[in-house]
């Protein structure tokens, strides 16, 4: 039997590009890099050359709203 997933679960599966993070936070690409380097934003995969950086929706939400939501 199929079940509908909740919006919170769907959102946790979402990942944002660095450009999307820049737009949502109103900051530069360098600032996004610093937030990732300091661990304030979590990435889906370890950062390495040739792999696009994707930031988890949960870490963006926690940064924006000051803690776990949901």
The DSSP annotation for 33-70 comes to: HHHHHTTSS-BSS---TTS--EEEHHHHHHHHHTS---
Q: Which residue has the higher pLDDT, 23 or 10?
A: 23
pLDDT reading at 46 higher than 90 = no
- Are the beta carbons of 18 and 53 closer than 8 angstroms? yes
d(CA 36, CA 43): 7
- Band of pLDDT at residue 10, cut at 50, 70 and 90: low
Query: Can you give the pLDDT at residue 48?
Result: 86
R_g of the chain computed on alpha carbons: 13
Helix (H, G, I), strand (E, B) or coil at 17: strand
């Amino acid at each position: 039997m199929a079940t509908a997933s909740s919006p919170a679960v769907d959102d946790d599966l979402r990942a944002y590009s660095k450009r999307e993070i820049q737009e949502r936070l109103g900051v530069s690409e360098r600032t996004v890099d610093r937030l990732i380097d300091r661990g304030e934003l979590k990435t889906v995969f370890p950062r390495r050359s040739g792999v696009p950086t994707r930031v988890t929706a949960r870490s963006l939400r926690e940064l924006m709203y000051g803690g776990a939501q949901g």
